[in-house]
Amino acid sequence: MKKVILFALTLLLAASTASFSTKQTAFAADTPANPIDKPGWVLTKHDEFNGTTLDTSLWVTRYLGFRTSTDRGNADYDFKDGSIVLRVTDRTPTYYSSGDPMKVSSLQTAQGDFHQGSYTKHHNEPYASKFSQKYGYFEIRAKGQADRSGHSAFWLNTDDPSIYPQSTRNTKNQLEIDVFENFRRNQYRFNLYNPMNAGIGNTNGGTYSFDFSADFHIYAMEWSPEYVKYYVDNQLVKQLDASNLVDKPMFVYLSLYVNTWGGDSSPTYPAEFTIDYFRAYQKADQVDVKQEAENLPIVLSSGVTKENWNDGASGGGWVKVLSDSTNDYAEFTANVPSPGAYQVITGYRSGSARGTAQLSINGQTHGSAIDMYGSSATYKEAQITVNFGSAGDKKFRYTVTGKNASSTDYQLGIDYIRLVKVN
């Protein structure tokens, strides 16, 4: 049970899309948690951190793992009073083996060989995309670190490989939204970057009126095609023009750093960054959710097995279902964010050994059978419209009904299930 204490909430709003006061005034101490329901918005992903184990279907615990050895860059965390506590101690190894004193404890919703800056690649890291989203409202309730040698950050970055071509991998080519970078107990940066800073390269800093390590506060960001708005304790404090921002889905980081650019002292251990919850929303009339097959719960018919493949698929992987006859099936559990009509898009991997599959949702057949055969392996989509009377987890079953005359087998290749709200 989360324990919060409600104090009077006042704020002098320094609002301007072009400038921002270097000192804010009068935020609440220990700002209470927001209700999880947000009028006009649909919750697309969240973690309330109320349990005792990490949801590994959402979070990756290695920070940019391809840059360093596997014994470095691993998150140190535990759960306390309905929150997760990211921690760096004197025993935490430096992120790099030599030359840089930075230490880090971080969670993120994707992992792979991407990101900006000059670095030497240490090894290949398995690609994973647990959650990413284009546009929406992203929010955490958190208490920052008392340590003054580094900073904590809530930020978004894209894992789209087209943004990070090898030719520019060691240059300033990030696509990034920093909801905050908090340092020295009351200072911040709200940043917005395009690849190579093309059209956008905003670094915006200032001073909070409060010590962010003393109490919980709510930090949020609304991203639209036109703007990025920054909120502290539910008050708009900054707006930036995003009309030129590259519109790619982004994934989320929750990060704690020691011995970094934000510091002005030696480390004070343990450094701790406490997060009460993480929530992501999309506008109710703009829901577009892609759920990667390799991350979804799956049930297979008797005698059928599967393999997870990684060769250029959306999100880094796809599921090969080794079915060999009609009536074999693979059933995925996917979430429908809200009631209403959706385009249900099945992303699949065609091939010479693919069968034909009929989609049913919670036992009801929808659309025509999908012929997954292809003379060469390519990624394709099949789309139908389905009206859902309720939100929640649904059973998406792909049942083999036959095969193309040219196919050599009845296998299926499922990449993702994408749900797009029909207005």
Domains parsed from the chain with CATH numbers: 41-286 (2.60.120.200), 289-421 (2.60.120.260)
DSSP state of 71: T
**CA-to-CA distance for 279 and 335, rounded, in angstroms?**
15
Model confidence pLDDT, tens digit, residues 134-191: 999 999 999 999 999 999 999 999 877 667 666 555 556 678 899 999 999 999 999 9
The per-residue pLDDT for 97 is 83
**Tokens describing residue 225:** 């095609």
Each residue's pLDDT tens digit, 23-64:
344 476 889 999 999 999 999 999 999 999 999 999 999 998
Residues listed for the chain: 423
Q: What is the pTM of this model?
A: 0.85
- Over its C-alpha atoms, the chain yields an Rg (Å, rounded) of 23
Q: What is the mean pLDDT of the chain?
A: 88
Tokens of 173: 């080519």
pLDDT value at position 11? 34
Task: Give me 135's structure tokens.
Answer: 């546009």
pLDDT digits (tens, 9 = 90+) for 276-308: 999 999 999 899 999 999 989 999 999 999 999
pLDDT at 173: 61
| Residue written as token pair 């240059």 | 171
Tell me how far the alpha carbon of residue 231 is from its chain's centroid: 19
Q: Is 315 within 8 Å of 129 (Cβ atoms)?
A: yes
Q: Is the pLDDT of residue 94 over 80?
A: yes
Distance of alpha carbon 332 from alpha carbon 348, whole angstroms: 14
Which secondary-structure segment (H or E) carries 133?
Answer: none
pLDDT value at position 423?
A: 80
User: Comparing C-alpha atoms, which of 371, 316, 381, 380 is closest to residue 345?
Assistant: 381
Q: In degrees to the nearest 10, what's the CA dihedral of 145, 111, 76, 72?
A: -110
Report the run of H or E that residue 238 belongs to, with start and end: strand 235-241
Q: How far apart are CA 257 and CA 105, in angstroms?
A: 7
Q: Cβ of 35: how many Cβ atoms within 10 Å?
A: 7
CB burial readout 226-249, b (16+ within 10 A) else e: eebbbbbbebebbbbebeebbeeb
